[in-house]
Amino acid sequence: MKCRLKFAKLDDIKFIGHLDLMRVFQKAIRRAGIPIAYSEGYNPHQLLTFPQPLALGTTSEGEYIEMQLTKDMDIQILCRQLNEQMPWGVQLLGGIILKEDSPKGMAVVRGATYELIYSVNFFDANDISVIIKEFLQQTEILFEKQGKSKNTMVNIRDGIYSMKGIKHENIIRFKLFIATGSKQNIRPEWVIEKFFEFCGQPFILSKVQIHRTDLFTQKEGQWISLEDFIE
């Protein structure tokens, strides 16, 4: 049985990287006695994949893990048994059974939604929507992407599908829908950094709280959450 499970990564678990999170799942699967399938060869490993690993320091309620089991299981029972073995901050939320020939999630992810919270002492609550609209009217938003050997300038405008902002007192809550995946990958903090640059204001990365809410693929021009995508 091939399945995709949705889970949340919250609180201090946000400081655990991709490889350590993989070990958390491997241990939980063993302790729960889940009939996980293993690869063949001299060093067999559990057949698990994360469609789009989360950046360190980011929380999420829209993470996914795909796994291959050696026998069928009820999804709710599978999630409950795993939750009983998970540390605080990791919670399985549900899942779907996939077709055996379904493509891996990492191959079909095209977008992600985020919520970001940032403290500011400027902007009027009535102006934020107008400024965002002006920001998105740009045909080019160039970001200097750091590489191992050199930096490159990338145009991130076509990867910003939607952007909203609400200001309350000294807090702005941004909602982003941006390109994510193997074809195009935009980091949410890049968008906010360029927005503040557009406003002529400084941006301090350590002040922003980033929370991913879901991952999406696209079919026939329609966006579909990975929790609903079976093909």
Name the amino acid, one letter, at 5: L
10 Å CB burial of residue 114 (0-12, 13-18, 19+) is: buried
Tens of pLDDT, residue by residue, the chain (231 residues): 999 999 999 999 999 999 999 999 999 999 999 999 999 988 899 999 999 999 999 999 999 999 999 999 999 999 999 999 999 999 999 999 999 999 999 999 999 999 999 988 776 766 888 999 999 999 999 999 887 788 899 999 999 999 999 988 889 999 999 999 989 999 999 999 999 999 998 898 989 999 999 999 999 889 999 999 987
What pLDDT, on the 0 to 100 scale, is given for residue 148?
77
Q: Does residue 118 sit in helix, strand or coil?
A: strand
Judging by beta carbons within 10 Å of its beta carbon (0-12, 13-18, 19+), is residue 97 exposed, middle or buried? Answer: middle
End-to-end CA distance of the chain: 14
DSSP-assigned letters across all residues of 74-127: -HHHHHHHHHTTPPTTEEEEEEEEEPTTPPPHHHH--EEEEEEEEE-S---TTT
- Confidence at residue 145, expressed as pLDDT on a 0 to 100 scale: 86
Structure token pair of residue 201: 């204001």
Number of CB atoms found within 10 A of residue 178's CB: 21
User: What tokens appear for 145 in the block?
Assistant: 């992407």
Domain coordinates in residue numbering, the chain: 2-100, 109-223
- Number of residues assigned to the chain: 231
> For 109-223, which CATH superfamily applies?
Pseudouridine synthase (3.30.2350.10)
Q: Which CATH number fits domain 2-100: 3.30.70.580, 3.40.50.2300, 3.30.70.890, 3.40.630.30?
A: 3.30.70.580
Q: What does the pLDDT read at residue 169?
A: 83
Q: Which amino acid is at 44?
A: P
